[in-house]
Every structure is written in structure tokens, then in C-alpha cells.
Amino acid sequence: MNSFVSFVCGLLFGAGLLISGMTDPSVVIGFLNVSNMASGQWDPSLMFVMAGALGVYLPLYHFVVKKRISDNKAPVYAEQYHLPKAQRIDRPLLLGAAAFGLGWGISGICPGPGIVNLPTGSLTVAWFVACMLGGIYLASRVMRR
């Protein structure tokens, strides 16, 4: 059942990315290029997608997840919640955020849309996902040391 629920959630997430246009790198780059704000060319759609996502998730987190955690209940389809334990900003967080932001800003693709775009057959997307997986592998090797 867990695999089925994960599959359905992945489909829902991917459909949301497609419907909102977040799989189009030009939309992301149009949002990140704030220098276009003065000319009216700036694209705020990513901000609205994020606000919509937060508008749905924050009440659910507050009224469902947080309550289940305080009652020592596990998630419905998992053995435990996987919440961050780190409470401070450290070097790995800053380096990872910088690497993610650099890759996202250059390509206009982040991991979710990259995977959703794989079936298009785009060589650019394939290279992005291959490099992303390589970066994940290298970072995991460095973090183990």
C-alpha cells in the first residue's frame, strides 16, 4: 500500500508541476530574473504556485501532522515522520543551497521538474538529471568523510 500511495502522490506532484507550468525552464528563469521587473517582463507565476502549495500544506501541517506528532502517532503510511533534526545554519546547508541555487538559476530546472520532463526525450533534461544524480552521489561521498 505504501508504494501505491507514493506512486499516486508522485503522479499528483508531477501533474501539478505540469499544470502550473513549472516544468518549463523559461517560466522559472523568468521568475528568477528580477532585473526584468522594471520593464514589466518579470514572471511572478512561480511565486503564486509556491503560495498555493503553502496555502494547502500549512493548515494540514498545523492541524494534522503537528497534532499527530504531539500525540506520538506515526504517519498513516509510514513508520515515522522524517522531520529535520538540525536547528542551525551550517556550512553543508549553505554550500548545498548555493549549489542548488546555481544549478537552478543556470538551467531553470530543479529536481522535480527535471524528472517530470525526462519522458520528453530532451537531451538537455537528460544531461541535467544525469548531472544531478552525479552531484548527489559525489556529495554523499564527501559527506561520509
Domain check: are 2 and 71 in the same one? yes
Domain check: are 9 and 24 in the same one? yes
Domain check: are 29 and 77 in the same one? yes
Q: How many domains does the chain have?
A: 2
pLDDT digits (tens, 9 = 90+) for 88-104: 999 989 999 999 999 88
pLDDT digits (tens, 9 = 90+) for 11-68: 999 999 999 988 998 888 888 888 888 888 888 988 999 999 999 999 999 999 999 9
CA dihedral (86, 90, 96, 97) positive or negative: positive
Domain check: are 14 and 69 in the same one? yes
Domain extent, residue 12, equals 1-83
Domain check: are 23 and 8 in the same one? yes
Rounded to whole angstroms, the Cα distance separating 124 from 117 reads 10
